[in-house]
Amino acid sequence: MDDIVKQAMAKWPNVPACCDWLALDARGDWYLRDDRAQAAGAFTSGVPGAKGARLEHRGLMEFIGRNYAPDAGGCWYFQNGPQRVYVELQTTPLIWRVQADFSVLDHMGRGAQLQRCLLDEHGLLYLLADTGLGLVHTQDMGLAADAVEQGQWRPQNVEQAQLPALFGFVKSPKLLYKK
């Protein structure tokens, strides 16, 4: 976490959290969801305009990444100064990018140590690492298939609906926290 964020938290310890303003999609892209996007529907609803605006500013995305973490209840958030901004998740809290040597980086570019490989009923591949559970990015499924074929990864079957409970994350914190 950035020092300036820690300082802001110490200076203003009681700033209320907000929900539904920031989201992470299945490709590792961050989305800002203003009032209009929120009024259009849930992030995962598929309603035109509900997803919000995809972030493209590299510095802002890096700042979010440095200050992105889970709380004790499994809700992932971005600590924006003194305010927690809870993140709506399309799939999982992390999105993995597979490298040529089968190591992985999360959607923020951080490495991790793999622990398990999981395959759901829809053919989506997930990796559990020391930093959390993540979905393998669609563009990296060729490399992931190579890792499986070479015996580097051994997928275990899992039901997609069970992932949050099994791995302790909350896809929609707005259901737990009021704005």
Domain with CATH 3.10.540 in the chain: 3-91+168-175
pLDDT value of position 9: 58
Q: What is the CATH number of domain 3-91+168-175?
A: 3.10.540
Of the two residues 92 and 176, the one the predictor is more confident about is: 92
pLDDT value of position 17: 81
Entry pTM? 0.90
pLDDT value of position 15: 66
User: Per-residue pLDDT tens for 34-56?
Assistant: 999 999 999 999 999 999 999 99
Task: Report the candidate in 163, 138, 109 with the shortest Cα–Cα distance to residue 27.
Answer: 138
| One-letter amino acid of 101 | D
What is the overall mean pLDDT for the chain?
Answer: 92
Residue 178 has pLDDT above 60, yes or no: no
pLDDT value of position 138: 96
